[in-house]
């Protein structure tokens, strides 16, 4: 799925991609999100586990582990805030 120059600005706009369970290749280059959201790549790796290629770069096992750790930590911090 190629989404060049689509003015995608934040993680909320790409969150719906989690429902595309067979998505393996996604390219968001040249969208503001790639500059404005430091963790957009890890976020996508976490919510779309079927991805193999993101922005024309192969997703490595280390990135998957980092994404799982990062978002596990963010989720537990969010849980603590609401308690």
Instruction: Report the alpha-carbon angle 8-47-14, nearest 5.
Output: 15
50: nearest Cα among 71, 28, 27, 24: 24
Tokens 């190629």 correspond to 2
Q: Splitting the chain (83 residues) into consecutive groups of 10 residues, what average pLDDT does each group show?
A: 81 94 95 93 96 97 96 66 57
Q: From CA 55, how far away is CA 78, in angstroms rounded? A: 29
CB distance 30 to 2 below 8 Å: no
Q: pTM of the prediction?
A: 0.82
Residues in the chain: 83
pLDDT at position 16 is 93
pLDDT at position 77 is 61
Tokens 């997703």 correspond to 59
């Amino acid at each position: 799925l190629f989404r060049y120059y689509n003015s995608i600005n934040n993680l909320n706009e790409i969150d719906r991609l989690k429902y595309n369970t067979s998505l393996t290749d996604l390219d968001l280059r040249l969208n503001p999100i790639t500059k404005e959201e430091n963790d957009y790549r890890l976020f996508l790796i976490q919510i779309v586990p079927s991805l193999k290629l993101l922005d024309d770069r192969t997703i490595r096992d280390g990135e998957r582990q980092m994404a799982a750790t990062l978002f596990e930590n963010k989720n537990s911090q969010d849980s603590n805030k609401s308690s």
